[in-house]
Structure formats: structure tokens, C-alpha cells
Amino acid sequence: MSVSGATLIKADQQATNGVVQVIDRVLYSIPDDTISNYIQENSRLRKLAMLMQIAGYQDSLDKQNITLFAPSDAVFEEMGANFTNLLTNASTIKALFRNHTVNNTFYTNGLRILDGGYITNLPGTKLPIKINQGVYVSGAKLVEEDVSLKNGVLHIINKLL
């Protein structure tokens, strides 16, 4: 069990004034930023922000309780002319975002528990989880993990899903 990415170490420890749950790290307050705001403000996600604007996908990324696996700018730069072609097709951009979005929040602690299993993206594709000197989702490595936001969690990844 986890809460905001922290793993429960000892459950239901009785105290004189209630019950204590011991976790493995400090919990910080959740920022006011939504996933779409974070994308717009992050210097590693400028191309993703551009795609979000072109497709008008901000509202979809502001839904509650989602996880976004966000490809870094380096991923799109490797696409070359294919990225330029992508800029002209809003429906393909929306499909790209849906492929990288999962209902519910999955922090890395939760993904580690799922090693060898999978999570399902919005179109219904099973994304395999692998732990091997890092966390991988469908072959993409999480290069920045557990960005807690108002409406979910974001992980920056090193390739498209």
C-alpha cells in the first residue's frame, strides 16, 4: 500500500490518541499545478506542451486521478521529420496522449510492486512493467519519477510508448 508515492512500512500502530501509519518518506503538500500546467512550465517538455496546445488536450490532462508518462523533448527530437508531420494531425496527437495516460495514480513504489505485470492505458493497451536498474513501462525508462500534481502524477520517459 502507498500514499502519494510513500510505501506503508508498519500499519495500524496504536497510540494513546489514535492510530499511526509508518511510511518510508516524508509527505509534502500536493502542488496547485495540474498536469497540463506542469507540462507548459517544464523546460524538458516544451515539445509535448506544443503538441498539447495544437490538439487542445489541456482539459483532458486536467481530469482527476491520472498518471501521464510524458516523453521528454529528446524523444521528439529523435523523430526528426516525423515530429514535423505530427504537428499537422490533431487526432494523432490526441491518440499519442491517450497512449501515454493511465487512469489512477501510479507512483514508482506502486510500479515496483507490479514488476512483471502491467498497467492499462486509456485505449486499453496493456503496458508491461519491468524493474531493471530503473523503472520501465513498455520499454520506456522513467528518467524523472513521481512528479506529484493536483490531479495525478507525471513521469518523464525516454521513448514513446
pLDDT, one tens digit for every residue, the chain (161 residues): 556 666 777 888 888 888 888 877 666 566 789 999 999 999 999 999 999 999 999 999 999 999 999 999 999 999 999 999 999 999 999 999 999 999 999 999 899 999 999 999 999 999 999 999 999 999 999 999 999 999 999 999 999 99
Q: Model-level pTM?
A: 0.84
Question: How many other β-carbons are positioned within 10 Å of the β-carbon of residue 12?
Answer: 9
- Domain boundaries in the chain? 1-30, 31-157
With 0-12 CB in 10 A as exposed, 13-18 as middle and 19+ as buried, what is 98?
A: middle
CATH second-level architecture of 31-157? Answer: Roll (2.30)
Helix, strand or coil for residue 20? strand
